[in-house]
Amino acid sequence: MIPEIILLKGEEDRLLTNHPWIYNNEIYSDDVAAEAGSIVDVLNSKKKFLGRGFYNPHSKIRVRILTHEKEEINKDFFKKRILSAWNYRKSLGYNDFCRVVFSEADYLPGLIIDKFQDYFSIQTLSFGMEIRKAEIVEIINEIFNAKGIYERNDATVRVLEGLTEQKGFLSDEFQTEIIVKENGLQFYADLAGGQKTGYYFDQRENHAAIEPYVKNAKVLDAFSYTGGFGIHAAHYGASKVISADISKPALDILQKNAKLNGLEKKIETVEANVFEYLRFLKDGNSEFDTVILDPPPFCKNRASLDQAFKGYKEINRRALQLLKKDGYLITCSCSFHMLPEFFMEMLKEAAMNTGKSLQIVENRMQAKDHPVLLGFEESHYLKCIIARVV
């Protein structure tokens, strides 16, 4: 018998519009004898079945929905879901390097699987996925005949689930430095030592999208990490690229990446806090044709939104000050709390403050191997706006 969670009256609306989370304060009866990570059924106040999912008494997100059917949740269920996610990616032409599973958006709450040819970097960020990790590893081996699997569970969100942060091999040890191929270019990624799962696949299509805006341009690639944007810019014909990041290890890899692609002559790296560096550039009257801003998330919760808004505005305002007329600003945010309309408002204010007029030429989001589940706005996290200074 599967334990049942009964919702308070009126608390089913979000679920009915496809949002997969039930919060602790939406539940009428939560006296179930269910352990963290086990399967429960969710019923509305009239006891109508709504869905089945992972239970977690340690988290404010008490249930994460896996299905709206009364189907058995076993290894076969997870294998079908992972296969379906993989088939979708393959149908779009992804093959060697991509995100195979994007958590809730693929109806696999808390599970991230990134594929680096025959090697995999995974995260189990929900209690339900964590206790099924061995099963997930078996499935990855069955579907992909993996040469190696590494877990990047050194993610702070795990703490909210009552899990510890950890990382390590889930297979025999292997060389974790791998060369990623993206848009015809090559990038070193370290599955064990890099940020998140080792590489940001979510910017792949945005990296390619900059081509028309960097030709013969002097480009500033701010928050460069290992050169995702900067190396693309150099490849697409920029005359000069300055890549700035606060992380020395990321810049060391960037330099290796530049050499790997034969572009080292065009790229200069600067180890700096971008907030200060932008000010320094302005003081030195530097000018750029294109400025790229791809900062880390400035807000991880709603409470820090105001502060984050100011942070985004600050860097965008400073970037605009450095841009020539007819130049391009390529500006990103990967905080989902910074909703697309807030991001646009921020940009409007930044432009107003600098007395510059902008034309929005592209309004982009994350790559297609990170699909957005409609109704689950948290899955639409990446914004990438390309604007022209007129």
Which chain residues interact with ligand SAH by CB under 6 A?
200, 203, 223-225, 228-229, 245-247, 250, 273-275, 294-296
Closest CB to ligand SAH among residues 26, 182: 182
Q: Which residues of 82-95 are buried (b: 16+ CB within 10 A; e: fewer)?
A: beebbeebeeeebe
Closest CB to ligand SAH among residues 245, 369: 245
Nearest residue (beta carbon) to ligand SAH: 228
Closest CB to ligand SAH among residues 151, 182: 182
- Cβ-based burial of 278 (10 A; exposed 0-12, middle 13-18, buried ≥19): buried
Catalytic residue list contains 384: no
Q: Which residue among the candidates 299, 332, 334, 384 is catalytic per the annotation? A: 334
CB atoms within 10 A of CB 273: 12
Q: How far apart are CA 181 and CA 171, in angstroms?
A: 23
Closest contact distance (angstroms) between CB of 244 and ligand SAH is: 6
Q: Which residues pair with 219 in a beta bridge?
A: 241, 290
Q: How far apart are CA 233 and CA 72, in angstroms?
A: 49
Closest contact distance (angstroms) between CB of 162 and ligand SAH is: 28
Closest contact distance (angstroms) between CB of 265 and ligand SAH is: 21
Closest CA to 290 of 360, 215, 357, 352: 215
| Positions of E strands within the chain | 4-7, 21-23, 27-29, 39-43, 49-55, 61-67, 97-102, 111-116, 119-124, 148-153, 166-169, 177-182, 185-190, 218-222, 240-245, 267-271, 288-293, 323-333, 358-365, 383-389
Closest CB to ligand SAH among residues 41, 245: 245
Closest CB to ligand SAH among residues 87, 301: 301
Cβ neighbors of 132 (< 8 A, separation 6 or more) are 37, 78, 124
Closest CB to ligand SAH among residues 88, 275: 275
What's the DSSP call for residue 296?
P
Closest CA to 320 of 272, 388, 372, 257: 388
What φ, ψ does residue 72 adopt, rounded to 5°? -75, 135
Closest contact distance (angstroms) between CB of 248 and ligand SAH is: 9
Q: How far apart are CA 104 and CA 90, in angstroms?
A: 19
Closest CB to ligand SAH among residues 119, 225: 225
- Please name the residue ranges forming H helices in 52-120: 75-91
Q: How far apart are CA 233 and CA 312, in angstroms?
A: 23
Closest contact distance (angstroms) between CB of 246 and ligand SAH is: 4
Closest contact distance (angstroms) between CB of 139 and ligand SAH is: 29
Q: What angle do CA 197, 145, 167 make, to 5 degrees?
A: 30
> Residue 213 in 3-state DSSP?
helix
Closest contact distance (angstroms) between CB of 55 and ligand SAH is: 34
Closest contact distance (angstroms) between CB of 118 and ligand SAH is: 22
What φ, ψ does residue 221 adopt, rounded to 5°? -105, 95
Q: How far apart are CA 86 and CA 342, in angstroms?
A: 33
Catalytic residue numbers read: 334
